[in-house]
Amino acid sequence: MSSDAHETGTTPGDGGAPASETASDTTSDCVFCAIADGRIPAQVVAESERSVAFEDRTPAAPVHVLVIPRRHAATVAELAEASTDDLADLFAVIPEVARAKGITDYRLMVNSGASVGQTVFHAHVHVLGGADFTEASMTPQA
């Protein structure tokens, strides 16, 4: 399973907005937009006016939280072009996630585009922790 498929427990591409979509406030068929505006329930860990962080439904580590902008942008690159304030806020929420989950060490992972494994086309950052990780793998060591 690709890493982005962990986010919602869906099959790749299920519920995601097309990669060619431009940044906007929300997109009606985007699962992450629906989580951000409360149409789909999620276990929220931290949030701000511009971002929301929630538990991954099929975690790849003991701590696996997704941080998303409330504004729809298909990729992190698209988000950066649309709003550096939204991008900065996305990363400002990450220390709040770490505090809420009781971790000091964590790995951040971003897939930006289909060719590198992005399957849900709403910009997001994976916050992974609670385990030792090998240097080159997202999978924690046993």
What's 90's DSSP letter?
H
Categorize the per-residue pLDDT at 139 as very low, low, confident or very high, splitting at 50, 70 and 90: low
Predicted confidence at residue 6, as pLDDT, reads 47
Is residue 135 in some structural domain? no
- Which residues form the catalytic set? 124
Q: In what order do the strands lie in the sheet with 106-109?
A: 44-47, 51-55, 63-69, 125-129, 106-109
Is residue 138 in some structural domain? no
Residue 62 · residue 41 · CB < 8 Å:
no
Is residue 134 in some structural domain? no
Provide φ and ψ at 7, rounded to 5°: -60, -40
Predicted confidence at residue 15, as pLDDT, reads 35
Render pLDDT for 78-122 as a digit per residue (tens, 0 to 9).
Answer: 999 999 999 999 999 999 999 999 999 999 999 999 988 899 999
The CA distance from 121 to 16, in Å, is: 5
Predicted confidence at residue 25, as pLDDT, reads 57
Query: C-alpha distances in angstroms, 41 versus 5, 88, 101?
Result: 18, 25, 19
Task: Say how many domains are in the chain.
Answer: 1
CATH number at residue 124: 3.30.428.10
Q: For the whole model, what pTM was predicted?
A: 0.79
Predicted confidence at residue 5, as pLDDT, reads 46
Amino acid at 89: D
Burial category of 64 from C-beta neighbours within 10 Å (exposed 0-12, middle 13-18, buried 19 and up): buried
Is residue 96 in some structural domain? yes
Is residue 137 in some structural domain? no
Is residue 7 in some structural domain? yes
* Most distant pair of Cα atoms in the chain: their distance: 42
Predicted confidence at residue 87, as pLDDT, reads 95
Render pLDDT for 2-54 as a digit per residue (tens, 0 to 9).
Answer: 444 444 443 333 333 333 444 455 677 899 999 999 999 999 999 999 999 99
Q: State which residues form the domain around 119.
A: 3-129
